[in-house]
A and B are shown apart, each in its own frame.
Chain A
Amino acid sequence: MKCLLCAVLLVPALTSATVAADLDKVVSRGELVWAADQEGGGPHVFPDPADPRQLTGFEVDLAALVAEELGVKARFQQGQWDRLPLLLGGTADCVINGIELTPDRQRDYHCSRPYFAYSLQLLARRDGPIDTLAKLASPGPGGRWRVGVLTGSAAESVMRSRTDLEIDVIGYDGTIDSLEQVSTGVLDAAVMDDCIFTFYADRFRRLRTVERPFEGGFYTILTARDTPQLSAAIDAAIGRLIADGRLKALYDHWDLAGRQQMLLLRDAAEIPVARRKSLGELCRDTLPLLLKAAGMTILLSCLAFPLAVGIGLAVAVGRMHGPAWLRPLLTGYVEVLRGTPLMLQLYAIFFLLPKIGLALPALVAAIVGLALNYSAYESEIYRAGLKAVPPGQFEASLALGLSKWQALRHVLVPQAVRIVMPPVTSDFIALFKDTSVCSAITIVELTKRYSVLALSTGRIVELAIVTALLYLCMSWPLALLSRWFERRLERPAGGSMAEG
């Protein structure tokens, strides 16, 4: 939901000429703001290992050279890689971050002349079965091969278009997340720009390149469509950097084969501009995907929440009535889960557990993560609910000969459950929206699908509205349910309900 809102807020910035900074504004400000993602970003943009406060990388040097050509200083702006173009016009003047020149991007942004030629490389474990790309054409021992890519990258669109291969393509938010997952055996292979693997190869010694790179293209500097002078100035700057050998020297400095790069750039092909889809086509092409993603959102919520409630209830009962040694442990459980972000917990479950040999599929990791996180909140609610049951109910149960656990099971818990129905239902709505965090571990739910589609079609506003409506359609019934529970609690209930 959050990035939906961001997208909606960013739209005026994308379309109105008054906000975007054209060349004169950049010059008078004295700064060229360039956006990139430093996470797992070598050799492009990454924290200097010698001093992590400093950024380094060949694009850091390139940005400095381009800014110098414009007569200004370069200033870095961090962003999530697949959403970097959304920063244009409002937050950043340009994006310099291994952005591939594609027909879609030609349509929605101004793409500078190419400054780097990349190739796609297939990567797999040394001890694994994949030794040629052709191997992927028939299913592996575990069914379809699982291939990781960077979400929104050319590697992703190329691999998704390869219907001749028996593969499931899984998108990651960080460049080297997929390398980690191939190492730990969660994935069978990964595809990425060759220069990235070359850079990280020493960290992933169990991985190897499979055959030669098989497809390629060019990196471009993105600017907004309504800053023509800035775009032209950047084009001219790249031209001068190529002509006077400074770009070649830069690539040689980074071990990126400067002479070969210059030869490839000389032959840079003209990339066609993609056609803008009509509204009808847009609906036809995106609605089924959005609905499917909404299904994932529902699946995650409906599986994770009952688990969260069950664990939460058990934790609450344990904290109030369990043995003395257990209580501090459960208190610790609640505080750790409430005191750390859901995102971090999902990361730990999905990326760290495989390191100790416990590799969970993304869907399971997402459900477990959501359930554990919410169980902490639910347990606090149930604790309050149990405290709200009048003490006479417990005494009356004991006086009838019920044990403590029988009293809890048949008298206290059923009453507490009723008391906390409204807050628990509204937590369900909260969890429902929090499922979007699961995109960090490759789950494609509604928000993620929106962000991918919005960027590939350039229809940010239209799709934002559709997506928001889908969310409302799903959360509205929950809100009604919550209110119904509240009303039911307010009036004394009648009728028999055989319990147990």
Chain B
Amino acid sequence: MITVSSLTKSRAHVRVLEEVSLAGAEGTVTALVGPSGSGKSTLLRCLNGLETFDAGSITVAGHRLEPGPHSPGLLERLRRDVGMVFQQFNLFAHLSAVDNVALAPRVVLGMSVDESRVRGLDLLDRVGLRSFANARPATLSGGQQQRVAIARALAMRPRVMLFDEPTSALDPAMTAEVMDVIVELAQAGQTMVVVTHDHGFARRAATRVVELEAGRIARQGAAADVL
């Protein structure tokens, strides 16, 4: 489902990623750990084409990314199959919770307003927020916002989900409610890559743990071995 081979990326003459290779089979959970600035976010953002890279290649959900210009529409097609959840939630500020979730199915998949709304409500139900369907993001707590953001990413039925420190901006109580949702997803067989500092979560849910250090893979293996 995910194959990264010899990925190398520089930013202003600084190597951010060097010869990174890893693989994630369907239904596995890969935890990306490592100190701050080690390149975890950069690697994750390469996986859905938000960042470009200099050498190596990526295959994710059947789409292949290489350095240099992409064929038109490749990124859009890839991103339909690869959802992402950000540390800062990035919910659409002008839309209600349900409209946040329903937007991409309607705009990208061409669903009708009613159809996309039904899907939105279902997903809000799944993250326990159906009663907040009409609330604006600004009126929700951080934990609630992140759960809406997860529902929003799931609305495209992605084959792979990427999480970039999904709980770092949350207090412990809210961290738990978001982590529960992610663990549930993992148990349901969703393929995912999760950047996290939470070793408890890695032990509980991760199939594999990959540790980055200064842009290189320091260690990888089963959670019990790496951590």
Contacts and interface: CB of A to CB of B under 8 A. Distances in A.
B83 interface: yes
A400 B103 contact: yes
Given A395-B86, A406-B108, A494-B136, A411 B92 contact: yes
B90 interface: yes
- Of A396, A418, A493, A500, which is in contact with the most chain B CB atoms at under 10 Å from its CB? A396
B218 interface: no
B88 A402 contact: no
Contacts of B94: 411, 414-415, 418, 497, 499
A393 B93 contact: yes
Contacts of B108: 400-402, 406
Contacts of B77: 401
B104 A400 contact: yes
Given A498-B99, A498-B113, A499-B99, A400 B79 contact: yes
Given A398-B79, A400-B153, A496-B98, A415 B93 contact: yes
B104 to A, nearest CB: 4
Nearest to B78: A401
B136 A499 contact: no
Interface residues of A, number: 27
B104 A402 contact: yes
Contacts, number: 89
Given A399-B79, A498-B99, A392 B86 contact: yes
Given A395-B90, A396-B90, A402-B108, A496 B84 contact: no
A492 interface: yes
Given A395-B50, A399-B79, A406-B108, A496 B96 contact: yes
Nearest to B85: A399
A494 B156 contact: no
B5 to A, nearest CB: 23
A154 to B, nearest CB: 60
Interface string A414-452: 110010000000000000000000000000000000000
Contacts of B99: 496-499
A396 B135 CA distance: 19
A52 interface: no
B102 to A, nearest CB: 9
B196 to A, nearest CB: 18
Contacts of A399: 48, 50, 79, 83-84, 86, 153
A276 interface: no
Contacts of A495: 96, 134, 136
A403 interface: yes
A410 interface: yes
Interface in B66-100: 75-77, 79-80, 83-84, 86, 88, 90-96, 98-99
Contacts of B96: 495-497
Interface string B103-118: 1101110000100000
B106 to A, nearest CB: 7
Contacts of A390: 90
A392 B90 contact: yes
Nearest to B97: A496
Nearest to B103: A410
B55 interface: no
Given A396-B92, A398-B79, A494 B113 contact: no
A396 B77 CA distance: 15
Interface in B20-55: 48, 50
A393 B50 contact: no
B119 interface: no
Nearest to B117: A498
Contact of B107 (A396, A398, A402, A415): A402
A141 B22 CA distance: 82
Interface string B142-160: 0000000100110110000
A402 B50 CA distance: 12
A400 B116 CA distance: 14
B133 interface: yes
Contacts of B134: 495-496
Contacts of A396: 84, 86, 90-92, 149
Contact of B95 (A395, A398, A402, A499): A499
Leading 7 A-B pairs by shortest Cβ distance? A492-B138, A392-B90, A396-B90, A496-B96, A496-B134, A400-B104, A399-B84
Interface of A: 390, 392-393, 395-403, 406, 410-411, 414-415, 418, 492-500
8 contacts: A396-B84, A399-B86, A400-B79, A401-B156, A403-B76, A406-B108, A496-B98, A497-B99
